[in-house]
Structure 1
Amino acid sequence: MKRCPTCNQPVERPDNPHRPFCSERCKLIDFGHWADEDYRMPSQEERPSAEEVGQQRAGTDEGD
């Protein structure tokens, strides 16, 4: 039997309109976590190295 990812209660009916959650309340709680950015998808974004940041700053200081 599947369990609600929010409250861990059993989700008994396969025709439940809130699946995989047990209720609208649990569904909205989960949505709130996503909206507050409590959950995040991993990304492949690379952060610039300290050397690259230094070069970028040096380039922007010229010509001021």
Structure 2
Amino acid sequence: MTLKVPCPQCQKTVVWQASSEFRPFCSKRCQLIDLGEWAEESHKISQNIQVDTVLSEEMLDAMEDEFLLNNKFFVEPE
């Protein structure tokens, strides 16, 4: 079964599959219009984000170290 969704910008039907380059948008144009609306703050997340834990510098350093170890893209060349 093929999933079809409406383009969030123009409501044109978009087939949801890997070959749909701009999904959920139907085109680059609709994608850029939406991006522009976010940049102009026409769209926004309506609720404040609740942070349960205050991260200390040590926690942030540990998280960064773990991230760098697990992501070889960020390894500096020797």
TM range (shorter): 0.5 to 0.7
Q: CA deviation at 1:44?
A: 5.2
| Identical pairs, percent | 40
Q: How far apart are residue 12 of structure 1 and its match?
A: 2.6
Q: Which has the higher contact order (CA 8 A, sep 6+)?
A: 1
Partner SS, residue 36 of structure 2: helix
Cα distance in structure 2, aligned partners of 1:44 and 1:23: 31
Q: 2:9 aligns with which of 6, 15, 20?
A: 6
Match of 2:33 among 29, 34, 43: 29
Question: Could you say which residue in structure 2 is the equivalent of 1:40?
Answer: 44
Q: CA deviation at 1:43?
A: 1.0
Q: Could you say which structure has the larger radius of gyration? A: 1
Aligned positions, number: 45
Calculate the TM-score normalised by the size of structure 2.
0.52
5+ residue gaps, structure 2 = 51-78
RMSD: 1.8
TM-score of the aligned structures, taking structure 1 as reference length? 0.62
Q: Which runs of 4+ in 1 moved over 3 A?
A: none
More strand per residue: 2
Which structure 1 residue ranges, 5 or more long, are not aligned?
46-64
